[in-house]
């Protein structure tokens, strides 16, 4: 319980710090910085149980990045938004995440594209579409391996391993992890 409280407190402190930075960016009319801060703020508000405020911040971030024509920022904010709304509105989340994937692909941002595949996989897994989820995890893993992003790769492999475990394919999960990291 103490660890949980410490994490929540850290997010709460982070929210206050981001709000202060956001006020400064708004005062300077730094729209790009404000959009990035709104994305971070939205995710952190959701983490401390303020989902409605978090979604509102994320939607504002998306709108600002759209106005700026910043494809990378837009795809990242869409990924965050899709992740936050996924449990309450999976249909909208799917549309948001597919849009993030398309924009990341067009911008040739393979890291954000991998995140989009991972997020879509999680959404599909929750919906019971295990084969589609597995295909999305594999696409994410391929992109992350080509980028050499070990942290994101480990997380996505873990997600895929949980999915394979649900399907009763524990041996395949172990072999897959070994294949992805050792080849």
> Rounded to whole angstroms, how far apart are CA atoms 55 and 45?
9
Q: Where are the domains of the chain?
A: 1-69, 71-183
Span 148-182, pLDDT tens digits: 999 999 999 888 888 888 877 766 555 555 555 55
Superfamily of domain 71-183: Tetratricopeptide repeat domain (1.25.40.10)
DSSP helix/strand/coil, 178: helix
Q: What percent of the chain has pLDDT over 70?
A: 88
pTM recorded for the entire structure: 0.86
| End-to-end Cα spacing for the chain | 40
| pLDDT given at position 1 | 47
If one compares 1 and 55, the residue with the highest pLDDT of the two is 55
Q: For residue 4, what pLDDT band results from cuts at 50, 70 and 90?
A: low
Provide CB contacts within 8 A for 42, sequence distance 6+.
53, 54, 55, 56, 57, 58, 61, 80, 81, 84
Side-chain half-sphere of 25: how many Cα atoms within 13 Å? 15
Residue 178: its pLDDT value, please?
A: 58
Tokens 């709000």 sit on residue = 19
- Tens of pLDDT, residue by residue over 29-78, are 999 999 999 999 999 999 999 999 999 999 999 999 999 999 999 999 99
């Amino acid at each position: 319980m103490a660890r949980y409280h410490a994490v929540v407190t850290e997010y709460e402190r982070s929210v206050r710090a981001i709000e202060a930075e956001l006020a400064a960016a708004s005062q300077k009319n730094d729209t790009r910085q404000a959009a990035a801060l709104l994305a971070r703020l939205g995710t952190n508000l959701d983490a401390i149980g303020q989902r409605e405020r978090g979604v509102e911040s994320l939607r504002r971030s998306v709108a600002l990045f759209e106005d700026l024509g910043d494809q990378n920022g837009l795809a990242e904010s869409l990924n965050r938004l899709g992740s936050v709304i996924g449990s309450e509105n999976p249909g909208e989340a799917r549309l948001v995440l597919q849009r993030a994937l398309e924009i990341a692909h067009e911008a040739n941002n393979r890291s954000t594209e991998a995140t989009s595949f991972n997020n879509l996989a999680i959404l599909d897994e929750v919906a019971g579409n295990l084969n589609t989820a597995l295909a999305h995890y594999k696409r994410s893993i391929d992109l992350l391996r080509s980028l050499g992003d070990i942290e994101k790769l480990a997380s996505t492999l873990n997600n895929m391993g949980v999915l394979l475990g649900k399907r009763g394919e524990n041996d395949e999960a172990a072999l897959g992890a070994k294949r992805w990291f050792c080849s």
